[in-house]
């Protein structure tokens, strides 16, 4: 990759050690002649990444999600350094960042282009999601009745706590917790997973990348909440469809040269090897 000459930092100061790590990495960058700017505010302001070669996010996946829309708009690769818990998106550990940051600045990294969901709730009202779109009743304790249509073909009606529409990147987030499948990030599909459905045969469905999905609220006198990446919410009245599709835009995400998705999954989810019986 080309060397990084301008670098924006986004630091979640509430994460233990994040501010100190930010100072260390910024110092490495400045000594390498890289122009540096930084903020601890996220979601970042519109235009913050304009003219930047890359953005280093220090925090957890939630911090990175607060930068994603701006990174997509400016097509600036995100270097995610994990100071949170799981960190599926912030793929560099603090130790790896310290040890390899000079090489990263010199271009020793690869960029994966992660797919996004485009969600529309009406004319002029749409948003992008890197992980998932959640549709549920506006009141947490209520069941929701939703009808799902794929390319003008009825899929089915759901009575459930909600529906999760996930990208492959988001398959290891809420989708996984709700019993959905783990999907390789290069698959370019949409996973739909019902939350606590009232029919035992209702399971996740995988849709092709160019599907056009519409979701209708069938509940009378109820409104549904549409949440993008668990951060941005819209409320929709009954009868108005929620439209979901794969966006033409993608998020550029910086990774190790030898990045392995399944290595990350094994580590983060603490997968072990095969069972070996101990002999007396």
Query: Kind and range of the H or E element at 250?
Result: strand 242-255
Q: What is the pLDDT of residues 53-67, one digit of tens each?
A: 999 999 999 999 999
Name every residue whose Cβ is closer than 8 Å to that of residue 273 and which is 6 or more positions away in sequence.
Answer: none
Q: If you average pLDDT over residues 171-199, what whole number do you get?
A: 95
Lowest-confidence segment of 58-67, 123-132, 164-173, 202-211 by average pLDDT: 123-132
Cα gap 166→189, rounded to integer Å = 9
Assess contact for 32 and 39: CB atoms under 8 A: no
Q: If you average pLDDT over residues 215-222, what whole number do you get?
A: 88
Tokens of 189: 């599909």
Q: Residue 27: pLDDT above 70?
A: yes
pLDDT given at position 24: 97
> How confident is the prediction for the chain on average, in pLDDT?
92
pLDDT given at position 279: 59
Identify any residues that bridge with 163 across adjacent strands, giving them in sequence order.
135, 194
Domain boundaries, the chain: 6-109+256-268, 116-248
Assess contact for 72 and 251: CB atoms under 8 A: yes
Q: What is the pLDDT of residues 154-172, one digit of tens each?
A: 999 999 999 999 999 999 9
Q: If you average pLDDT over residues 20-29, what whole number do you get?
A: 97
For the domain made up of 116-248, the CATH class stated in words is mainly beta
163 by Cβ neighbours in 10 Å (0-12 / 13-18 / 19+) ranks as buried
Lowest-confidence segment of 123-132, 181-190, 207-216 by average pLDDT: 123-132
pLDDT given at position 124: 73
pLDDT given at position 267: 84
Q: Residue 8: pLDDT above 90?
A: yes
Name every residue whose Cβ is closer than 8 Å to that of residue 81 and which is 6 or more positions away in sequence.
Answer: 21, 25, 56, 57, 58, 59, 90, 92, 93, 94, 97
Assigned CATH topology for domain 6-109+256-268:
Rossmann fold (3.40.50)
Cα gap 40→30, rounded to integer Å = 19
Q: What is the pLDDT of residues 224-247, one digit of tens each?
A: 999 999 988 888 876 679 999 999
Assess contact for 214 and 178: CB atoms under 8 A: no
185 or 86, higher pLDDT? 185
Q: What is the pLDDT of residues 32-48, one digit of tens each?
A: 999 999 999 989 999 99
Q: Residue 269: pLDDT above 80?
A: yes
Which residues are marked as active site?
61
Q: How many residues does the chain have?
A: 280
Cα gap 51→137, rounded to integer Å = 41
Kindly state the percentage of the chain with pLDDT values over 90.
Answer: 76
Identify any residues that bridge with 265 across adjacent strands, giving them in sequence order.
none
């Amino acid at each position: 990759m080309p060397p990084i000459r301008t670098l924006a930092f986004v630091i979640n100061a509430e994460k233990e050690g994040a501010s100190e790590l930010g100072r260390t990495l910024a110092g490495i960058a400045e000594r390498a002649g890289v122009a540096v700017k930084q903020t601890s505010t996220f979601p970042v302001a519109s235009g913050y990444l304009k003219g930047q070669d890359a953005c280093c996010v220090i925090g957890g996946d939630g911090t990175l999600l607060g930068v994603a829309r701006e990174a997509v708009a400016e097509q600036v690769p995100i270097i995610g350094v994990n100071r949170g818990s799981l960190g599926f998106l912030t793929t560099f550990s603090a130790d790896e960042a310290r040890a390899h940051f000079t090489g990263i600045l010199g271009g020793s990294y690869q960029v994966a282009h992660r797919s996004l969901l485009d969600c529309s709730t009406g004319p002029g009202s749409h948003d992008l999601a890197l992980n998932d779109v959640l549709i549920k009743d506006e009141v947490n304790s209520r069941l929701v009745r939703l009808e799902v249509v794929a390319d003008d073909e009825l899929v089915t009606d759901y009575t459930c706590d909600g529906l999760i529409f996930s990208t492959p990147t988001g398959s290891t987030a809420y989708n996984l917790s709700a019993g959905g499948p783990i999907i390789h990030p290069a698959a370019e599909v949409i996973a739909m997973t019902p939350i606590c459905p009232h029919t035992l045969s209702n399971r996740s469905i995988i849709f092709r990348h160019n599907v056009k999905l519409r979701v209708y609220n069938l509940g009378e006198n109820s409104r549904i909440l549409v949440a993008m990446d668990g951060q941005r919410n819209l409320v929709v009245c009954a009868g108005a469809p929620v439209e979901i599709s794969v966006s033409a835009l993608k998020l550029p995400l910086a990774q190790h040269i030898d990045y392995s998705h399944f290595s990350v999954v094994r580590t983060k989810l603490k997968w072990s090897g095969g069972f070996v019986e101990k002999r007396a």
